[in-house]
Chain A
């Protein structure tokens, strides 16, 4: 990369928490900037707060701390911030927030408020894609409140099965799958209610639901003047409840011709909107090879590390440069994919229902070694609370090819240990061992179709032996362990020798 943007002037406030705050802090430090963390009261001992050069406690409830625009602006003022990185979630796709920052003379590290607003409205986003000649899913969007009879007629034209989706939404909220026209009478009103509650906007639309489809997304970076680069694609087909848990790049079994058309389609949106910064254009790839635009996420994605590992780029660094007026560096434009990367998200949840698992982290051990990256926001002794998304970390591996990456991930997961809450680790290990995934044929309902009856591996004799031996191992227990007291390891070694 070329020289860093004037480091003394860049003071970046990170309006986020957890692993992504830590990731951005590292990026700011790499660019020679000062990193400022804001944090809720419950987060005050979190690793990301420690990693920052400046930390600033926020008022309000645990979630308000990261959502209150006025308070974030006040924090910028108090800490002398010159720029704000929003991470993902929270205020990252809030156009009003971006406008307020720019009005206050601060740099928003993301696209323009107009881009956020355009892509945040799913209906307008689809129109924009059509205008850019990007294929879109057959759909019907009512102009205003539309009676069920009209919806039913339109649904017949679109074809079944179909999705009812919230116009303002994401994350599966307000989403329904209708398999018969008779489902609409019940599903539309309930989707409207859910959308109203989640987004304050009850508009819904209909679109064809493509079965056995893959979720493929293209990472783009634009300079804000129509120039852009596509940094490959990611296959994020492994999802539970419409939320991704395993992602990889490049997409397996993707014909080169389709790959090129996907990248070109994503870039045409960058050009059409003069997109600035990092963004992701999401597509659904049907079983017959046709693809359709889903939406564009105007921010850094959770799964950005797989792209970084395959393309050898630092996306946060690119975001910082472009936000500070630089062009897209040649190193990014010329980056070519090398090898294969896979990410699994470690959620504090109990598969296969994926109910959040709350508690203290008694032990946290992450994997190490060549080609292994862990983006974690937690540590031993931390608490997993009800206040935030239960994602603890992401484990990413990179290897020369896909099958080596799968093996590397299985080894990495075997090196990982989290005690105190349930996690998706063992579940993900089984998913990447599943023949459909191994074959590169994962589709968006794979987990719903094949893993709803998943049970955690039964205890084998190794586990049984370890559990029974535990009381005889010094330091196996926490300080609360009654029978251990505070024996040194040598005391126990003596016991072994006597045994």
Chain B
């Protein structure tokens, strides 16, 4: 059964309003502006699995969604480019403290802009790219470290 309705649920993020176009489990079609993606969603009690472009993202339910991603890690993150493209904007500098979900870079890949966001509250320890750089899929773009954070916790509830 596929539902399609122009008044589907929406959510507001920095990059725009995302609206559910259709939901036929596990297929979820979202729209943002003129852009549209088909994703997969499947949840267990503790985790929501979201599939996009062959990768499955496990997001903890009920709490701030980045919490689970960070718990298994040392606090260090290398963010890589999901596909070949170009760096359109660099929104942070080395040493900046960033919040979970904050946009760090804007990439242009396959003629679409997509933001690279901080997976959790952390400090930008190294920038590997500059505006105008051409990047390959899998290139490291930026390194983050959440253990380098000061004691002022960032409030991630705004996004």
Q: Interface residues, chain A, CB within 8 Å of chain B?
A: 362-363, 365, 410, 413-414, 416-420, 422-423, 425-426, 428-430, 433-435, 450-451, 453-478, 480-482, 489, 492-493, 495-497, 499
How many residues does chain B have at the interface if contact means C-beta atoms less than 8 Å apart? 60
B contact residues around A410 at 8 Å (CB): 54
Which of B22-30, B91-99, B147-155 lines the interface with chain A?
A: B22-30
Q: CB distance B83 to A433 under 8 Å? A: yes
In whole angstroms, how far apart are the Cα atoms of A125 and B10 in the complex? 64
A contact residues around B116 at 8 Å (CB): 458, 460
Interface string of B56-97 (1 = CB under 8 A from A): 110101000100010000000111101110000000000000
Q: CB distance B55 to A365 under 8 Å? A: no
B contact residues around A489 at 8 Å (CB): 1, 3, 23
The contact of A416 among B54, B80, B138, by CB within 8 Å, is: B54
Q: CB distance A451 to B54 under 8 Å? A: no
Within 8 A of A (CB), among B116-139: 116-117, 119, 136-138
A486 vs chain B, min Cβ distance (A): 14
B111 vs chain A, min Cβ distance (A): 15
B contact residues around A499 at 8 Å (CB): 7, 9-10
B contact residues around A433 at 8 Å (CB): 83-84, 136-138
The contact of A462 among B23, B44, B52, B83, by CB within 8 Å, is: B52
Most B CB within 10 A of own CB, among A365, A425, A465, A476: A465
The contact of B55 among A456, A476, A495, by CB within 8 Å, is: A456
Within 8 A of A (CB), among B1-43: 1, 3, 5, 7-11, 13-16, 18, 20, 23, 25-26, 28, 30, 32, 37, 39-43
Most A CB within 10 A of own CB, among B26, B69, B78, B80: B26
Q: CB distance A476 to B56 under 8 Å? A: no
Q: CB distance A465 to B11 under 8 Å? A: yes
Most B CB within 10 A of own CB, among A414, A420, A459, A495: A459
Q: CB distance A465 to B40 under 8 Å? A: no
A contact residues around B79 at 8 Å (CB): 455, 458
B contact residues around A495 at 8 Å (CB): 9
B contact residues around A465 at 8 Å (CB): 11, 13, 18, 30, 32
B49 vs chain A, min Cβ distance (A): 4
A279 vs chain B, min Cβ distance (A): 33
A89 vs chain B, min Cβ distance (A): 26
In whole angstroms, how far apart are the Cα atoms of A413 and B3 in the complex? 25
Q: CB distance B50 to A467 under 8 Å? A: yes
Q: CB distance A426 to B39 under 8 Å? A: no
List 4 extra interface pairs beyond A459-B119, A476-B43, CB under 8 A.
A423-B56, A455-B79, A461-B18, A463-B57
Also in contact, A420 and B49, with CB within 8 A (given A363-B42, A462-B18, A499-B9): yes
B158 vs chain A, min Cβ distance (A): 13
B contact residues around A480 at 8 Å (CB): 44-45
The contact of A413 among B32, B50, B54, B137, by CB within 8 Å, is: B54
Q: CB distance A462 to B30 under 8 Å? A: yes
B66 vs chain A, min Cβ distance (A): 8
The contact of B115 among A414, A461, A482, by CB within 8 Å, is: A461
Q: CB distance B136 to A434 under 8 Å? A: yes
In whole angstroms, how far apart are the Cα atoms of A457 and B25 in the complex? 23
The contact of A469 among B5, B18, B53, B83, by CB within 8 Å, is: B18
B135 vs chain A, min Cβ distance (A): 11
In whole angstroms, how far apart are the Cα atoms of A351 and B156 in the complex? 29
In whole angstroms, how far apart are the Cα atoms of A417 and B25 in the complex? 12
B contact residues around A474 at 8 Å (CB): 23
The contact of B43 among A365, A450, A478, by CB within 8 Å, is: A478
Selected A-B contacts with CB under 8 Å, 19 pairs: A362-B42, A425-B55, A434-B138, A435-B136, A454-B138, A455-B79, A458-B116, A458-B119, A459-B57, A460-B117, A461-B114, A462-B30, A462-B39, A473-B28, A476-B26, A476-B41, A478-B44, A481-B45, A499-B9
Q: CB distance A417 to B20 under 8 Å? A: no
B contact residues around A430 at 8 Å (CB): 137-138
Q: CB distance A362 to B84 under 8 Å? A: no
A contact residues around B8 at 8 Å (CB): 496
Most B CB within 10 A of own CB, among A423, A460, A495, A497: A460
Q: CB distance A455 to B20 under 8 Å? A: no
A contact residues around B23 at 8 Å (CB): 473-476, 489, 492
Q: CB distance B52 to A463 under 8 Å? A: yes
> In this complex, what residue of B is CB-closest to A468?
B11
Q: CB distance B49 to A362 under 8 Å? A: yes
In whole angstroms, how far apart are the Cα atoms of A492 and B82 in the complex? 33
In whole angstroms, how far apart are the Cα atoms of A459 and B56 in the complex? 10
Also in contact, A464 and B117, with CB within 8 A (given A418-B56, A453-B78, A455-B79): yes
The contact of A453 among B32, B82, B140, by CB within 8 Å, is: B140
In whole angstroms, how far apart are the Cα atoms of A134 and B53 in the complex? 44
Also in contact, A473 and B41, with CB within 8 A (given A419-B51, A467-B65, A468-B65): yes
> In this complex, what residue of B is CB-closest to A426?
B55
Also in contact, A461 and B13, with CB within 8 A (given A419-B49, A471-B61): yes
